[in-house]
Amino acid sequence: MSAFLQAAIRVGREGACPAIAPYLTAGDGGFERSLAVMHAIEKAGAVCLELGLPFSDPLADGPILQAAAQRSLAGGMTPVRTLELIRAYREEGGLMAVLLFSYINPLFVGLGGLGASAERLAEAGGDGFVVPDLPPELAQELQEPCAELGLGTVFFATPRSSPARIRAAAEASTGFLYCVGRTGVTGQRTCFDAEVLGWLDQVRALAGSTPLAVGFGVAEPADISALAGHTDLAISGSALVQLLHRTGGSPQDGAQAAHDFVAALCRAQPK
Amino acid sequence: MSSFQLPTHFGRFGGCYAPETLMPALLELEAAFIESQGDPGFTSELARLARDFGGRPTPLFHAQRLSKEWGVDLWLKREDLLHTGAHKLNNAMGQALLARRMGKKRILAETGAGQHGVASATVCALLGLECVVYMGEVDIERQRPNVERMRLLGARVESVSSGQRTLKDAVNEALRAWVSDPDAHYLLGSALGPHPFPTIVAAFHSVIGEEAKRQFQEQSGVELPDLALACVGGGSNAIGLFRAFLPHQQVALMGVEAGGRGSQPGEHAARWLGGREGVLHGCRTLVLSDEHGQIQGTHSISAGLDYPAVGPEHADLFDQGRARYEVAGDAEALAGFQALGRFEGILPALESSHALGWLMTHQGDWQGKRVVLGLSGRGDKDLVTVLPLLGDEA
């Protein structure tokens, strides 16, 4: 695991509330705006970024992230430009861990295969992959180069996954296990009630020492408060992407809106 | 890990590239399928439905006038005569019985031409299941009669306005809906998608080739045809026909995909001509995508062939050199459509018309050869498309 990712996990493990790991669609609003937003959310206290590589057919995503990917693609974003965004962020001193969130086809075709994608991501300064349509049983092609390059690989657990699958996903994950607290696609609210929190605690027991992140439906400080003690990281995607789109304006306007959104999440206190 | 029991791949193609949110449902489906195959009650119920409700076996028809015209000995496997007018019912009956077995209350389905949607709506009515069919806006426009049929059968048709608004996008939306709805079964309509769908769909359609092989022997007195020929969108009717002939190397297998109106990206749905290896809708196969891995638009006169990927078993059969895949364009399909109507009194679906059009164009290479052609569906649904194009010729 990279030093950036280790640092991110440490913040999450030591804090009273989970550390904040926003999701951003690369190139939505333009390259410069994405770059400005990345620096702004780091300043606001985010420790890890899931940078979404836009794909034409994002199966696991709801309408908000689908639309963001379409806008980004229409603006000329590509897999290679997405890596350039990571490189630019690192060259300008960015310190968040950056995970590339990509469906498999753009890696397979656009970056020359899973092995080549790993080399190129490491070279650009990224810290790992989240590939939602790559289950652990088919992931060897990605895991081996990532292990060699010190990149993280993140797999998923859902409430319908069997205990054996959750255990295996946790074992296969380097970095963290991505917990989805409900069925469905991204962009719908999740009620972090006793049932979901109880499930997270079961996942914690199955996952052993693998850190946990919770995503899908994390949208406001109250969600972070509710999650305190049940996860190490909290991922917020659709809410931020939608806010950025509605805000519009210059890269600075976007950066300010993202900063305020993430800062509020970071200020949350345990319930 | 609690993972799959059946082989998930065809050579290097196939697999199960699905979000974890779908994996439990896919595992449950595979387990139910395996169990059903060992249950005589299931197989006899399916056989009874296929016979008494579906009308199986469908005839193998010796198309003698067209054979004379083209110099090819042409036999048509009449899936157009199956109830609902296309081969799709074979798979819909099988999967709906599986769904009932799993205790599912609701069926989700995608449809392009509407044939699979109609087949799904039909079996849902028969078995008392709720049915929701996802269909692209563009396809709803061009296949209006099938939309009305689905509604009359009690199904809800959900219009899909994302992406290119055709079959690919309908599959996306159906999969997304399935993720959110554990009480539903997704009745995928072609031999594609994540494991176990390609295996299950091919198994339920393999009756096409089994019947055709037996009927050909009985009716022609010859052991085997020289060529088994079918159109290939996702590839369900083609794999259904091919499976029985796979062990017989002397039978050539030919799939015909949609050449559309040109060779530029977006003008066709020819995966072997313009595709690359990739992953779409959960399986590794040949996919029409640009150099960045973004899925490309497609065009075909036929909604059922208008899809940017092909079933993984076909990709593997091609790789092995066991099957060949060529294209017929919109114009060839129209010519095939007209020829079958005028010479044999059968209006074929525009999908099947691609196989006819290909044979018409390549008749010189198959003089005197025995050809079994999978006539996958009837053409009534396509009059809306065909009549304006043919104008005075119609």
A70-113 pLDDT tens trace: 999 999 999 999 999 999 999 999 999 999 999 999 999 999 99
In contact, B297 and B268? CB cutoff 8 Å? no
Tell me the average pLDDT across B194-199: 98
Read off the tokens for B37: 């195959």
* DSSP letter for each residue of B255-309: EEEEEET-SSTTS-B-HHHH-EEEEETTEEEEE-B-TTSPBPP---SSGGG--SB
* Per-residue pLDDT at B113: 84
In contact, B167 and B136? CB cutoff 8 Å? yes
Q: What is the pTM of this model?
A: 0.96
Give the number of C-alpha atoms closer than 13 A to the C-alpha of residue B258, restricted to the C-beta side: 30
* Per-residue pLDDT at B391: 83
Give the number of C-alpha atoms closer than 13 A to the C-alpha of residue B146, restricted to the C-beta side: 36
Interface test with B, best of A59, A103, A117 (most B CBs within 10 A): A59
Dihedral (C-alpha) A102, A103, A108, A114: value to the nearest 10 degrees? 60
Chain B residue nearest residue A54, CA to CA: B294
* Per-residue pLDDT at B163: 85
Backbone φ and ψ for A42, nearest 5 degrees, come out as -65, -45
* Per-residue pLDDT at B394: 63
What tens digit of pLDDT does each residue of B246-284 get?
Answer: 999 999 999 999 999 998 999 999 999 889 999 999 999
Q: Which residues of A are catalytic?
A: 50, 61
Interface test with A, best of B6, B21, B29, B167 (most A CBs within 10 A): B21
Active site residue B263: no
**What is d(CA B129, CA B154) in angstroms, rounded to the nearest whole number?**
10
3-state secondary structure of B315: helix
**What is d(CA A244, CA A239) in angstroms, rounded to the nearest whole number?**
9
Interface confidence, given as ipTM, is 0.94
* Per-residue pLDDT at B3: 85
Q: How confident is the model at residue B304 (pLDDT cuts 50, 70, 90)?
A: confident
* Per-residue pLDDT at B2: 56
Read off the tokens for B168: 């690919």
Chain A residue nearest residue B182, CA to CA: A183
Looking at beta carbons, which residues of chain B come within 8 Å of A183?
21, 179-182
Looking at beta carbons, which residues of chain A come within 8 Å of B4?
137
Least confident of B21-30, B262-271, B334-343, B384-393: B384-393
Q: What are the residues whose beta carbons fall under 8 Å from the beta carbon of B226, sequence distance 6 or more?
A: B250, B251, B252, B366, B369, B370, B371
Are residues A134 and B17, on separate chains, in Cβ contact within 8 Å? yes
**What is d(CA B349, CA B346) in angstroms, rounded to the nearest whole number?**
10
**What is d(CA B107, CA B99) in angstroms, rounded to the nearest whole number?**
8
> Does any CB of chain B come closer than 8 Å to the CB of residue A108?
yes
* pLDDT of residue B144 exceeding 90: no
Backbone φ and ψ for B285, nearest 5 degrees, come out as -165, -165
* pLDDT of residue B68 exceeding 70: yes
* Per-residue pLDDT at B273: 86
* pLDDT of residue B142 exceeding 90: no
Question: Residues in chain A with pLDDT < 70?
Answer: none
In contact, B307 and B271? CB cutoff 8 Å? no
Mean pLDDT taken over chain B: 95
* Per-residue pLDDT at A271: 84
